[in-house]
Amino acid sequence: MNVSSLITMLFTDYTLRTVALGAAVLGIVSGALGSFALLRRQSLLGDAISHAALPGVVLAFLLTRSKAPLVLVAGAMIAGWLATLLFMAIIRSTRIKEDSALAFVLSTFFGLGLALLTFTQRLPDSRQAGLEHFLFGQAAALMVEDVLTMSLLGGLALILLGVFWKEFKLLSFDRDFGASLGFPMAALDVLLTTLLVTAIVIGLQAVGVVLMSALIIAPAAAARQWTDRLGVMTALSALFGALSGLSGALISSLVPGFSTGPTVVLCASALVLFSLLLAPNRGLIWNGLRQRRSRLKLQAPESSVLKISTGLPGPAGGEAQGGGYEHL
């Protein structure tokens, strides 16, 4: 199949169009919110939330016997939020540290989800078929109503992100300062986390619980290498997310033997690798070349020592460094 026939198919084939649209939407939303998750060091929390969503999805089905997208998404959101609350409760009230609390919440919720899933699969109800696709995702199964739900919720999340943009920026960069200005930082934190949970749950059907968190982090990590402005980074991340989502979903729909989740993640990871190596300023290859060039120049001994020991640029007055870090 060549590119032109692929593009034609995109416009003519109804299923393919739906799949592509859904993948693009979830890519944009997860990319945009992933930027903030990355900056707030919530990568692993995203992993836990997405795994924890599984029992929510299955329970929602068991209680309502409906696989309507809104129902399943609601179940996923509630479970995701419960997991977050449990995580925060554990780290606030005991001496258990964040990584352990996350690993615990992730594995027990997910284990519960798997137990419920196998229980459901044994039921004579044929409607349960397809629930197991929430593990690794199946973009090909996306229906119009799914894409509508994703777009609605995702759109809402993006709008809220835009509306409270400066507040979220303040929250992510300097929470205490924001509090001193009078902004309710705790409430903003809850809101931003809710938006993150939303971004995660709308992608679960296509990408699956196991790998959704990678789609939150990878586009953002890739975007970070290309820019130093939050707005550009978020937009770029949304674009990368859409690209990964689209290519992953299309490949997985058209080529047999490719589950959507892993395919999307591989596309996103490729973007990350490319960005890490080749982005100007931060890219490793770029920095490698620049280092060779500057080794030929004479450098003041103290500033080199400073760089090696602290990784920070030398004191004021030194040549402005192009990249964020000297490659150690």
Partner 1 sequence: MQVKPTTAVEVNDLTVAYRDQAVLWDVDLTIPEGSLTAIVGPNGAGKSTLLKTILGLLKPAAGHVLIYGKPYTQQRRLVGYVPQRGSVDWDFPTTVEDVVMMGLYGRLGWIRRPGRRERKLALKALEKVGMLEYAGRQISQLSGGQQQRVFLARALAQDARIYFMDEPFQGVDATTERAIVALLHGLRQSGKTVVVVHHDLQTVPEYFDRVTLLNVQCIASGPVAEVFNEENLRRTYGGRIAFFHQPGFSANGKGGELPVPAGVPAVPAAAGENGRNGR
Partner 2 sequence: MSIFDIEIVLIAVVTAAACALPGVFLVLRRNAMISDAISHTVLLGIVLGFFLVQDLSSPWLIIGAAATGVLTVSLTSLLERTRLVKEDAATGLVFPALFSIAVILITRYAGNVHLDTDAVLVGEIAFAPFDRFILGGLDLGPRGLWVMGVILLVNLAFITLFYKELKISTFDAGLAAALGFAPGLIHYALMALVSITVVGAFDIVGSILVVALMVAPAITAYLLTDRLAVMLALSVAIGALSALLGYALAVLLDASIAGSMAAAAGILFGLVLLFAPERGLLAAARRRRLQRWEFAQTMLAIHLMNHEDSPQGDVENRVDHLHEHLRWDPDFTERVLQRAENHAWVARRPSGRLELTEEGRRHAKKVVTT
Query: Which C-beta is closer to partner 1: that of 233 or that of 268?
Result: 233
Q: Could you tell me the smallest distance in angstroms from the CB atom of residue 269 to partner 1?
A: 21
Going 244 to 152 to 88 to 119, the CA torsion angle's sign is: negative
Instruction: Give the contacts of 20 (CB within 8 A, at least 6 positions apart).
Output: 10, 246, 249, 250
If binding is defined by CB under 8 A, does position 211 make contact with partner 2?
yes
Q: Could you tell me the smallest distance in angstroms from the CB atom of residue 230 to partner 1?
A: 5
Query: CB under 5 to 8 A by kind: which of partner 2, partner 1, none does 136 bind?
Result: partner 2
Q: Whole-angstrom distance between the N-terminal and C-terminal Cα of the chain? A: 45
Query: Which C-beta is closer to partner 1: that of 125 or that of 228?
Result: 228
What is the per-residue burial (b if ≥16 Cβ within 10 Å, else e) of 126-154? eebeebbbbbbbbbbbbeeebbbbbbebb
Task: Tell me which of 24, 25, 135, 249 binds partner 2, using CB under 8 A.
Answer: 135
- Using DSSP, state whether 51 is helix, strand or coil: helix
Q: Interacting stretch for partner 2, rule CB under 8 A, among 18-26, 69-77, 108-116, 139-147?
A: 108-116
Q: Site size for partner 1, by CB under 8 A?
A: 35
Q: Could you tell me the smallest distance in angstroms from the CB atom of residue 59 to partner 1?
A: 36
Q: Interacting stretch for partner 1, rule CB under 8 A, among 77-85, 158-166, 247-255, 286-294?
A: 158-166
Instruction: Give the contacts of 176 (CB within 8 A, at least 6 positions apart).
Output: none
* The token pair that represents 118 in the structure block: 């196998």
Task: Tell me which of 181, 186, 273, 308 binds partner 1, using CB under 8 A.
Answer: 181
If binding is defined by CB under 8 A, does position 15 make contact with partner 2?
no
Task: Tell me which of 94, 119, 125, 165 binds partner 1, using CB under 8 A.
Answer: 165
Task: Tell me which of 119, 130, 177, 289 binds partner 1, using CB under 8 A.
Answer: 177
* The token pair that represents 214 in the structure block: 């990678």
Q: Site size for partner 2, by CB under 8 A?
A: 64
Rounded to 5°, angle at Cα 75 from 71 and 79: 170
**Interaction mask 215-244, partner 2, x per CB under 8 A:** --xx--x--xx-------------------
Question: Distance between alpha carbon 238 and the CA centroid of its chain, in Å?
Answer: 10
If binding is defined by CB under 8 A, does position 43 make contact with partner 1?
no
Q: Interacting stretch for partner 2, rule CB under 8 A, among 75-83, 143-151, 195-203, 262-270?
A: 262-270
Nearest CA to 251 out of 5, 16, 55 is that of 16
* The token pair that represents 306 in the structure block: 């400073």
Q: Could you tell me the smallest distance in angstroms from the CB atom of residue 250 to partner 2?
A: 15
- Tally the residues of the chain: 328
Instruction: Give the contacts of 37 (CB within 8 A, at least 6 positions apart).
Output: 43, 45, 46, 196, 216, 217, 220
Q: Looking up tokens 């990584």, which residue turns up?
A: 99
If binding is defined by CB under 8 A, does position 115 make contact with partner 1?
no
* The token pair that represents 105 in the structure block: 């919440």
Whole-angstrom Cα distance, residue 74 to residue 60?
8
143, 70 in Cβ contact below 8 A? Answer: no
Q: Could you tell me the smallest distance in angstroms from the CB atom of residue 225 to partner 1?
A: 11
Binding site for partner 1 (CB under 8 A): 39, 163-167, 169-170, 172-174, 176-183, 224, 227-230, 233, 312-316, 318, 320-321, 324-325
Binding site for partner 2 (CB under 8 A): 38, 41-44, 46-47, 51, 90, 93-97, 99-104, 106-108, 110-119, 122, 132, 135-136, 210-211, 213-214, 217-218, 221, 224-225, 257-259, 261-263, 265-266, 269, 272, 276, 282, 284, 311, 324-325, 327-328
